[in-house]
Amino acid sequence: MRAHIVTYGCQMNEYDTHLVQSQLVSFGADIVDSVDVADFVLLNTCAIRGKPVEKVRSLLGDLRKIKARRPLVIGMMGCLAQLEEGQQMARKFGVDILLGPGSLLDIGKALESNERFWGLAFRDELHDHVPPAPAGQLQAHLTIMRGCDHHCTYCIVPTTRGPQVSRHPDDILRELDLQLAAGVQEVTLLGQNVNAYGVDQGARLGGYPTFANLLRLVGRSGVRRVKFTTSHPMNFTEDVAAAMADTPAICEYVHLPVQSGSNRVLRRMAREYTREQYLAHVADIKKHLPHVVLATDIIVGFPGETEDDFAQTLSLYDEVGYDSAYMFAYSARPGTPSYKHFDDLPREVKTERLERLIARQKDWSARKNAAKVGTTQEVLIRGEAHSDGFLEGHTRGNHPTIVPAAIGATGPGVYPVRIDHATPHMMYGTVLGPDGHPLPQVPRLDPQAAALSAPLSMA
């Protein structure tokens, strides 16, 4: 069988794709890069906003046309598969296999079935499963929990992924050991709310460390770089910032979603913290990590948001001084309390406010990135950039970075890079050698010169 997986959504979905892909390979499947040569196409879906749902709908329409011309098994997994909206879509487009986020280990049973297979249960053994390490990659994701015990009024995650279940620390460390043995140098710990690790349904689990202590355990494992996402301010503790400061492997990068700067909107969102409490967390982080890189999530145009509410979001953005932000216009999702009980704002209002926030973010990102010019940053190079002769990667603070390929630095690895230029969304630098001087760049032949110097063919 030739299988192809299309992944939408968050890093958790990327991790789940790797988990299912490893299962498919163990069954003897070949993973292919194109729908055109696949016998089985699996869509790993996202339901957090309307746009990824529409992308799934469009692709399912294309797959149905292919299936009408030749044998093709169509599968759908992820958050959308768990919802009635996704199940209706699956019926309409002739999906053969439907797997919710808690039933991914049913993929083998599903492929063996001779009829439509829908697995939507939350399977406990999923939380104990340790997938093999990704081959040939310097980066890896590592899930430490699944689900969420918070119930933000705009969020569909508690419905699609269920209540929070923390993985046992032994399983986490065992998976980390496999990743390190495979050459992984940067690990990102994943969870809907990593700060609440070990506290399921409001109670701390016996034998489980706090998230801060888990960070210390992971940071002492021998891994070079550790990141984590995502954090809920309600559960953030100063000890997390302290653990980051006293564990060199943990990157000085914190993604702390605020969603709104207005207490009134935060109450309507059921976020369980105030603006003042959020800013106190930021102060704790900066106390322990003066050079921290801060990122956030912000929803613009939540139902009932007034111009004054939005102004408070802009002022909070300036008070914190974020390095970057994921910004979205509110998208009403069926099944959420905000969809049921609140009236949406006009699209043009949301769009106009989002444009203003993006402009504010670009200004702050430009200032923050410009301050890095002339400094030396540790950059994990992932591979070739879109332009020939250049490589792409990211700093410990998650800044996307482009460098020319250099003698001794022509492929993946972790290198010191002097930042020479910066834009709001990208840094450009030069790879340095052990002596702190720039490494000589790999010569790049001009295409026109190459054509002129090529030997003439004899007809």
Binding residues: 10, 46, 79, 148, 152, 155
Neighbours of 424 (CB within 10 A): 16
**SS3 call for 293:** strand
**SS3 call for 391:** strand
Neighbours of 322 (CB within 10 A): 22
> C-alpha angle 221/222/227, rounded to 5°?
75
Q: Which two tokens stand for residue 180?
A: 């390190």
Q: What type of residue sits at position 170?
A: D
Name the nearest CA neighbour of 380 among 189, 229, 188, 214: 188
Residue ranges for the known binding site for [4Fe-4S] cluster are 10, 46, 79, 148, 152, 155
Distance of CA 193 to the CA centre of its chain: 13
Lookup result for tokens 């970075």: 401
Q: Which two tokens stand for residue 46?
A: 């996202």
Q: Which two tokens stand for residue 341?
A: 């009980």
- Is 185:223 a contact under the CB 8 Å cutoff? yes
Q: What type of residue sits at position 27?
A: F
126 Cβ partners below 8 Å, 6+ apart?
102, 103, 104, 105, 146
Name the nearest CA neighbour of 397 among 423, 420, 374, 368: 368
